[in-house]
Structure 1
Amino acid sequence: MRVAIFDFDRTLFPEETFPLMMNHLKTHPMHHKKYSTFMRKILPMYVAYKLKLYPEEKMREGSMQSYISAFTNSSREDVEKFFAQLANQMKKRLNPEILHRLEWHKARGDYTVLVSGAFQPMLETVTHDLPFDLVLGTEVPYSENYIDSKAHVHHVNGKRKMELVKKNLILTDIDWKNSYAYGDSYSDLDVLESVGNPVAVQPEPRLEQVAENGKWEIITPVRS
């Protein structure tokens, strides 16, 4: 079986999602007061990162932890509604080239996977009408249908992406040489190098250099 693995941020969706999540929280009619709680948690970490005292991967994971911790005592229903509202806006702005590739992979019988550090309920809403066989994202921790702010958020980033894909496909015989993967970031390298057909989508400079050296396909944004 061939697989086609897609990233979300700057790949299926042409932008970074975290700034949109921040703005959604800041302006939300019901949850906007949580924004100050989130900022108090994230600011020291972000400053340390900018001073090169904190690694990027830990900063990203800590940001996701801080974000979801701001929803302490919120119900699963409220949190999933919150993410669905943002996701329904994002569905209108997906990358048409990547949507075309997704349809192409389905037509040729490939098993399609979306793997991303974005929160799972948001990804499920965005992809509800898309032909993905498997959607893997960062799980929101709950306890008895309320946010468990003390639980560790296991951010799906870097090597964790490929580990999660392989964990979910462990009983399947995968033809990795003839499989595809799409990503934008150097942190996606573990996924991209696992397949015979890696595709860099509007890649950041470090990944662009790797893609050029390896003669990978590069998809750049369509200029209007």
Structure 2
Amino acid sequence: MRVAIFDFDGTLYPQETYKLMMNYLKKHPIHSTKYQPFYRALMKPYLAYKMKIYPENKMKAKSMQLYLDALKGLHQQEIETYFEDMSKEMRNELNQSVVDRLQKHLIEGDHVLLVSGAFTPMLNEVTRDLAIHNVIGTEIPMSNGILDTNKAIYHIQGERKNEMIEKALQGLDIDWKNSSAYGDSISDITVLELVGNPVAVRPESRLRAVAEKRKWEILW
């Protein structure tokens, strides 16, 4: 079996979803009052990262945790509605060249996975019409039907993507040499290295340098 693995932010979706999430909270008709406390809390890890005293992966995970902290107390249906409403217009903003590749892989019988650090309800809503076999994202912890901010999220990034891919494909005989993966960031490198056909999608400078050196396909 061949697989085709897609990143989301900057790949299937051409922008960074965290900025969209921030803007959505800021302008939300009900939850906008939570934006300023959230933003103040976010500045500490973000500035530490910019000063190079806080690792990027920890900053990203902390940022996602702080976003959920701002929504503390919401019930599961409220959370699902929140992310569904946020994601509606995103379906019309996908990178069409990457969508075309994804659909081609489906037609050719490949097993398609979407693996991202974005929250799973967002990924499910944006990609609901794409027939992806496995959508893997950062799960939102719930307890008794209510958002549980006492539980730390397990942010899917870096080698955690490989861990989740391995888990999703457990027991399947994968033809890695003829499989494909798509990503835009150096943080996707461990996934791209899994397959015989890695594709750098509008890559940032660090990934572009690797892709050019190794003669990987670059999709602009």
TM-score (norm 1): 0.97
Please name the residue that 2:180 is paired with: 180
| d(CA) in 2 for partners of 1:110, 1:43 | 42
Give % identity: 52
Matched, 1:84 2:79: no
Shift of 1:138: 0.3
| d(CA) in 2 for partners of 1:36, 1:144 | 28
Residues 156-182 of structure 1 show CA distances to partners (whole Å, capped at 9, x for unaligned) of: 001101110111111111100000000
| d(CA) in 2 for partners of 1:131, 1:216 | 27
Alignment check: 8 A CA contact 1:102 1:131 kept = no
How many residue pairs get matched?
Answer: 220
Please name the residue that 1:109 is paired with: 109
Alignment check: 8 A CA contact 1:192 1:199 kept = yes
The DSSP-based 3-state class of the residue aligned with 2:32 is coil
Residues 134-164 of structure 1 show CA distances to partners (whole Å, capped at 9, x for unaligned) of: 1000000111111101100111001101110
Matched, 1:58 2:58: yes
Matched letter for residue 104 of structure 2: W
Shift of 1:98: 0.6
Shift of 1:37: 2.5
The DSSP-based 3-state class of the residue aligned with 2:200 is strand
The DSSP-based 3-state class of the residue aligned with 2:114 is strand
| d(CA) in 1 for partners of 2:208, 2:144 | 45
Shift of 1:41: 2.0
Please name the residue that 1:130 is paired with: 130
Shift of 1:46: 0.8
Q: Which runs of 4+ in 1 moved over 6 A?
A: none
Please name the residue that 2:44 is paired with: 44
Shift of 1:89: 1.2
Please name the residue that 1:214 is paired with: 214
Which structure 2 segments of 5+ residues have no match? none
Please name the residue that 2:35 is paired with: 35
| d(CA) in 1 for partners of 2:40, 2:191 | 34
Shift of 1:79: 1.1
Matched letter for residue 74 of structure 2: S
| d(CA) in 2 for partners of 1:23, 1:137 | 21
| d(CA) in 1 for partners of 2:2, 2:22 | 37
Shift of 1:40: 2.6
Alignment check: 8 A CA contact 1:11 1:184 kept = yes
The DSSP-based 3-state class of the residue aligned with 1:33 is helix
The DSSP-based 3-state class of the residue aligned with 2:89 is helix
Matched, 1:148 2:148: yes
| d(CA) in 1 for partners of 2:75, 2:29 | 16
